[in-house]
Each structure stands twice: as structure tokens, then as C-alpha cells.
Amino acid sequence: MKKRIFFNFAMIAALFFLPWWILAVLAFAGVFFFTPYYEVLAFGFLADLLYNTSSNYIWGMSSFVAAIFIFIAMTYFKKIVR
Amino acid sequence: MIHRRTNSYDKFFSIRNVVLGVSVATALLVLLYTPARNAVTQAVFVVAPGIWKSDGTAIEVKDSFWAVFRTKQSLVEENSYLLSELSRMQAQVLDRNLLAEKVAKLDEALGRAHGDNRVVAEVIAGPRQAAYDTLIIDAGREQGVTVGDEVVYAGSGLVGTVVEVFDSLSKIKLYSTPEEDHLVLAGEDRLPVVAVGRGMGNFTAKVPQGSGLKIGDNIISLEGGFILGTVSFVEEKPAEPFDRIFFRVPFNVAEMHSVEVVKTKQ
């Protein structure tokens, strides 16, 4: 549980201060190592609210859609490799 | 004794999955329904500035500690700062050329008063953090910023337009947002072309063959005469009726520390 909280702080720091691709890498890692890592959806949602605009791709919710994709894809990937 | 078998149907509609589904549907609804999205974004932007500004405080603390051990690292940082300043200065030089042209034109059309009301704002988050061409600046409704105001860098480098305004923050959409079209004027002949954004300050446009556009020509906005970029490459294909020009803003959009909002409402 402590690891998960620490990881969530790292995700928050990445969301606000680090390049977007680091957040993406952390999101993949989070879904892979924590079961089930629902927080990734919240971070996708927050990323859209903070940085995206509704006039952009996919009505400005591309981060959230990407988070859903990461969540589903990594969940299946985990089933395959474990 | 009778045991109930848990089949895949029960598993799929477990409480956990139902809660997850409802949460995802609510989030999608919030993102799609603009008033709801604005309300939630307003709430997020109450907390977010504090977090962004904490980065500055953390950097100050770190800097004061490492100042004792000034080594190669400090030189690298200084170099990076000087490069960003150089980029800003280059944009300002272009600005001066444009101003000279403007003055000449104004002399011709005597009596035409020109002046705009600007707000200087600090960039608190930019394309470095976001995968989108957006900026968050620390000027908002309280400073008179409104949706649709143009945002410039170093005096006349056109950056983008205000798309969302909060009390003391605004969200800027860069003109270079991928697939965004803008009508601009290219070269000395002021050839009207449609510039298409390619992200991070890069654009492309199709121009008729023999237009005479060359590397280094300025691309100017239709209104206000702001610089949108300088031509960096001209792709000529003899088999096609059009040439393709590539141009980019004369500064690094990821290194902008402050911008100016040109207020439309005085």
C-alpha cells in the first residue's frame, strides 16, 4: 500500500512538472505492477482538464481515452505474461 | 448443500466493475458536456496553481543548496538559459524589422492611430508537460483576459489564442496545434497561404510553384502583422502544381517563460 501511495505521488509530480511521455511510461508501469490500478483513469481525466481543450482531438479527451486503453491493454498483457 | 456457481456473467457485472463503468461514463460525460467540464476545470484550477508554484520553491531550495557546489552543471544550466535568451532576442530582432516596416506604412497612412492593450503573463505550464500545444499562463479574468485574445512572445511572435479563462489563469492553444488551419501572409509579397499546424511551433503550407518563397522569409499573421514564423525549408516537386513550405516560430515554444496577451476588449 505504501508503494502505491508513493507511486501516486510520483504520478502527480509527473503530471504537473515532467514531460508528458514520462507520465505515459509511469502509467504503463503502474497498471502493470499494481492490480488493478484504477488511478490511471483519474490521471488521464486530470491531464485532459489541465492541459487539453475541448476543441482538440477526440473532443479534448485524448488523455482519458489513452488511459482507458492503457488500463485495458496492460490488464490483458499481464494475464498473458503471468 | 447447494453451491452457486459464479459464471462469467456474474463476474463481469460485479460491484467493482459496475462502479468502474459508472465512473468512466461520468468522466466521459463531464469531458463531453462543456458546462460540466468548465465547472470541474475551474475547481481543478483552484488547486493546480499552488502545485505548479511549489515547483519554483523547490527549485529555489535546490539551487541554494547546490550553489555551494557550482560545477559543470551550473555552466550547463547557464548555457541553457543563455540559449533561450538568444532565441528571444532573435525574435525581437525580427520584431524590430517589422516595426520599421509598420512605421513606414503608418507614415503613408497618416492619422491612423495604432496601439494595443497588453498583459504580460508568466508561463506556468507548457508543451513540455502536455502532449498538446497548450500553455497555462498566470493571467486570467482578473487581469482582463478574455477568450479569443491573441498571445504573443517577445513583442510580436504570434504564439496562440486564449481558449479558456479562469480567475487568475488562462489556457492558451498554440497556433501550431496539429491539423489547425490559419490564413497567413507569406514572404515579401504577402502571399496569402493556409498554414497547417504540425505541433511545437512547426507549420506547413502549400504555395503555388514559382511563388518565390525562400528560406528565411517571414510568415505574418493576417491581422496585427505578428510574426508566425520563418521559412525553414521549401519542398519543390516539379510534377505537382504546388510547393510545400515548412516554417517554424523563431523561438523555442518549450522555453517561453513569459508571454503577452493582446487584449481585444479595452
Report pTM. Answer: 0.76
Beta-carbon contacts of residue B166 (< 8 Å; ≥ 6 apart): B41, B42, B45, B140, B141
**Contacts of residue A48 in chain B, CB cutoff 8 Å?**
31
- Tracing cell 490559419 back to the chain, one arrives at B182
Separation between Cα atoms, residue B37 and residue B31, nearest integer Å: 5
Separation between Cα atoms, residue A44 and residue A37, nearest integer Å: 12
**pLDDT tens-digit profile of B194-230?**
999 998 889 999 988 888 888 888 898 887 778 888 8
Quote the Cα angle for B151-B154-B160, to 5°: 20
**Contacts of residue A46 in chain B, CB cutoff 8 Å?**
44
**pLDDT tens-digit profile of B224-262?**
778 888 898 888 888 888 889 999 888 888 888 889 998
Cell of B35: 458546462
Cis amide prior to A36 (ω within 30 degrees): yes
Nearest CA in chain B to A47: B130
In terms of Cβ atoms closer than 10 Å to its own Cβ (0-12, 13-18, 19+), residue B232 is: middle
Predicted pLDDT of residue B7: 65
Within 10 A of B25 (CB to CB), how many other CB atoms are there?
10
Q: How far apart are the first and last CA of chain A?
A: 21
**pLDDT tens-digit profile of A65-74?**
999 999 999 9
* Nearest CB to A53 within list B28, B44, B173: B173
| Selection from A76, A20, A72, A73 nearest residue A43 by Cα | A20
Separation between Cα atoms, residue B196 and residue B179, nearest integer Å: 6
pLDDT: which is higher, B190 or B223: B190
User: Which residues numbered 100-159 in B keep a CB inside 8 Å of some CB on A?
Assistant: 125, 128-132, 134, 136
Do A56 and A64 meet the contact criterion of CB atoms below 8 Å apart? no
A60: left (phi over 0), alpha (psi -120 to 50) or beta: left
Q: Do B24 and A68 touch (CB under 8 A)?
A: yes
Instruction: Give the residue-averaged pLDDT of B117-143.
Output: 86
- When the pLDDT of each residue in chain B is averaged and rounded to a whole number, the result is 82
**Contacts of residue B136 in chain A, CB cutoff 8 Å?**
50-51
Cell of B122: 508568466
User: Which residues numbered 196-255 in B keep a CB inside 8 Å of some CB on A?
Assistant: none
Sign of CA dihedral B220, B226, B228, B231: positive
pLDDT: which is higher, A51 or B238: A51
- Tracing cell 512538472 back to the chain, one arrives at A17
**Contacts of residue A60 in chain B, CB cutoff 8 Å?**
31, 37
Q: Do A54 and B41 touch (CB under 8 A)?
A: no
- Compute CA B233 distance to the chain's CA centroid, rounded to the nearest angstrom: 22
Residue B4 confidence (pLDDT) above 60: no
B212 three-state secondary structure = coil
Separation between Cα atoms, residue B151 and residue B162, nearest integer Å: 7
B133 three-state secondary structure = coil
Separation between Cα atoms, residue B4 and residue A66, nearest integer Å: 38
Beta-carbon contacts of residue B89 (< 8 Å; ≥ 6 apart): B154
Within 10 A of A26 (CB to CB), how many other CB atoms are there?
19
For the ranges B24-28, B137-141, B224-228, the lowest mean pLDDT is seen at B224-228
* Nearest CB to A51 within list B32, B40, B134: B134
